[in-house]
Amino acid sequence: MLVIGPKLWVALATLTAAAAGVAVLGRLGHARQIVVAAVRAAAQLTAVSLLIAAIVTSLWATAGFVALMCVVASGTAARRITSGVRGWWAGLPVVAGSLAVVASLLVAGLVPARGIAVIPVAGILIGGAMTATSLAGRRALDELTGRRGEVEAALALGLSPRDAVLLVSRSAAAQALIPALDQTRTVGLVTLPGAFVGVLLGGASPVTAGVTQLFVLVGLLAVEVVAVVVTVELVARNRLRPVEPVPALAG
């Protein structure tokens, strides 16, 4: 689809500079992160492209690469949600939904047990779980911090700490599902996501591409719902804490 050559690299550099420049003008405070993210993406995709070509023939190597994806996704979600060792609890919602769905697809025979098939499917699902976990965790903990008075009032009324936290944070955390819901609702009308385009460019029929994309979107919804539910439960059980803990729940 793209012609690889000097013009492509110039275009990438120009787009990165434009994004960083607009961030500076708009005082968004993320100009440096935009440049770093673009450079990291280029380096990582180059390395991963070479690595995948070498490991797709081995199921053990494929499993190791999927495990690495889980570790990186868990670490990223942990850093976004809270600080300290407890942040690694974020790995549970990342892994719980994504690997369960991947395993189910392999057992059902819907995804062949080959690296070239497992890695992209696992990557999409793990990435979705990571995003949902990060958003749900941040929203839940922000709500818990901002509405700590309501939490303490609920405790005073006799609710358990878990129920008091869920009362305040559950609806806020559920907003993490909005991007996935909007993407699913508008697919084909607003966007043609990557799976559809990739299958189509690979020579498959539009119908096959559409079915593949539907499969990916529904799988992502399932994975992200699990991630949000598990994240909220971890917050309610005080495994994931705000940077400034609510005194009544500390311990």
CA-CA-CA-CA torsion sign (79, 28, 183, 44): negative
Asked if the model's pLDDT at residue 129 lies above 90, the reply is yes
Of all residues in the chain, the percent with pLDDT exceeding 70 is 88
Mean pLDDT of all residues in 161-179:
87
* Confidence (pLDDT) at 203: 67
Query: Which residues contact residue 192 at a Cβ distance below 8 angstroms, ignoring those fewer than 6 apart?
Result: 213
Asked if the model's pLDDT at residue 147 lies above 80, the reply is yes
Of all residues in the chain, the percent with pLDDT exceeding 90 is 21
Mean pLDDT of all residues in 211-218:
82
Per residue in 80-108, pLDDT tens? 887 665 678 888 999 988 888 888 888 88
Largest CA distance in the chain: 67
* Confidence (pLDDT) at 50: 82
Measured between alpha carbons, how far is residue 189 from residues 24, 184, 200 in Å?
Answer: 33, 10, 17
The DSSP annotation for 113-170 comes to SSHHHHHHHHHHHHHHHHHHHHHHHHHHHHHHHHTHHHHHHHHHTT--HHHHHHHHHH
- As a whole number of angstroms, the distance between CA 186 and CA 30 comes to 29
Please check whether residue 42 is in contact with residue 54, taking contact to mean a CB–CB distance below 8 angstroms: no
Per residue in 48-68, pLDDT tens? 888 877 787 888 888 888 999
Q: How many CA atoms lie within 13 A of 209 on its CB side?
A: 17
Mean pLDDT of all residues in 156-177:
86
Per residue in 221-232, pLDDT tens? 999 999 999 999
Mean pLDDT of all residues in 101-128:
86
The distance of Cα 202 from the centroid of its chain, to the nearest Å, equals: 26
The residue that leads in pLDDT, 245 or 133, is 133
186: helix, strand or coil: helix
CA-CA-CA-CA torsion sign (77, 79, 81, 83): positive
* Confidence (pLDDT) at 39: 92
Instruction: Confirm whether pTM is higher than 0.85.
Output: no
Asked if the model's pLDDT at residue 125 lies above 60, the reply is yes
- Number of neighbours of residue 95 by Cβ within 10 angstroms: 20
